[in-house]
Amino acid sequence: MAKTRQGKRTLDSYTIKGTNKSIKPGDCVLMRAPDSSNPPYVARVEGIEAGGRGGVKVRVRWYYRPEESIGGRRQFHGAKEVFLSDHYDVQSADTIEGKCFVHSFKNYTRLDAVGNDDFFCRFEYRSATGSFVPDRIAVFCKCEMPYNPDDLMIQCEGCYDWYHPTCIDMAVEDAKKIEHFFCQSCTTENGKETEKSHNGSKQSDMKVDPKRRRR
Ligand SMILES: [Zn+2]
Ligand SMILES: [Zn+2]
């Protein structure tokens, strides 16, 4: 039978078609979606293989965009947020459009500028169940939402919680300029009440709908 794995071999790198950029296992790539009106898929290259007929295949682990997850996009998801899924695949290397970078959440928030190729990942995603790891996340502000790096927040110097300007009736322009900020409870209570547990370590079970969830 002609099922010999003739000529199939592992490659250390692959040069993306039409470019001079090379990728290696561990790199992240953008892959053309079958429907070209959709944005490209984000994947992490796990392995590269030269097939028998000259085609190069890549083994990938998909990143999901929030809208591709079972729960859909939520208010706290960043525009460039992706989830590392447990969904693996083998694809033709021809579908690779370019290289991209999936940063940790912390590194992403420290980027001077976010390019088209920059993404961030703070959750792993189980595609079969739609569940996330971690399944709990710190929440901030009066609205008790996880941090969305696309939204400006300011930190109270009293309780160290972070607030959205709109949630505390402050104009975004003012929030950008303010040098010292104390939230309403820290101002009115003037430090006398210390039992309140708004010290920035609140946690929310992501399965509990936040108050402002829209459908
Ligand atoms: Zn808020
Ligand atoms: Zn405060």
Q: Which CATH number does the domain housing residue 118 bear?
A: 2.30.30.490
Does residue 77 lie in a domain region?
yes
Which ligand neighbours the alpha carbon of 148 most closely? Answer: 1
Residue 7's pLDDT band (cuts 50, 70, 90): low
Boundaries of domain holding 182: 136-191+198-205
The rounded mean pLDDT for the chain is: 87
Q: Which is more confident, 85 or 54? A: 85
Q: What's the CATH code of the domain at 145?
A: 3.30.40.10
Q: What mean pLDDT do residues 131-137 have?
A: 94
Cα(169) to centroid(ligand 1), Å: 10
Q: Which residues contact 144 (CB under 8 A, 6 or more apart)?
A: 202, 204, 210, 211
Which ligand neighbours the alpha carbon of 147 most closely? Answer: 1
Question: Where do the DSSP E strands lie in the chain?
Answer: 9-11, 14-15, 22-23, 28-31, 41-50, 56-64, 83-92, 96-104, 118-121, 124-126, 131-133, 136-138, 154-155, 162-163, 203-205
Shared domain check, 166 and 108: no
pLDDT of 8 reads 77
Of the residues 117, 133, 149, the one at which a domain ends: 133
Cα(143) to centroid(ligand 1), Å: 4
Of the residues 133, 156, 176, the one at which a domain ends: 133
Which ligand neighbours the alpha carbon of 156 most closely? Answer: 2
Task: Give the tens place of pLDDT for each residue, 10-26.
Answer: 999 999 999 999 999 99
C-beta of residue 44 within 8 angstroms of C-beta of residue 28: yes
Shared domain check, 164 and 90: no
Output the CA angle 11-15-16, nearest 5 degrees: 125
Shared domain check, 140 and 103: no
CA neighbor of 198 nearest in space, from 210, 213, 182, 214 = 182
Respond yes or no on whether the N-terminal peptide bond of residue 134 is cis (omega within 30° of 0): yes
Does residue 2 lie in a domain region?
no
What secondary structure letter does DSSP report for 93? Answer: G
Of the residues 86, 109, 133, the one at which a domain ends: 133
CA neighbor of 156 nearest in space, from 192, 111, 187 = 187
Does residue 109 lie in a domain region?
yes
pLDDT of 195 reads 44
What residues does the ion ligand 2 have nearby, CB within 5 Å? Answer: 156, 158-159, 183, 186
Does residue 62 lie in a domain region?
yes
- How far apart, in Å, do the first and last CA atoms of the chain sit? 56
Query: How many domains, in total, are found in the chain?
Result: 2
Q: What mean pLDDT do residues 184-190 have?
A: 79
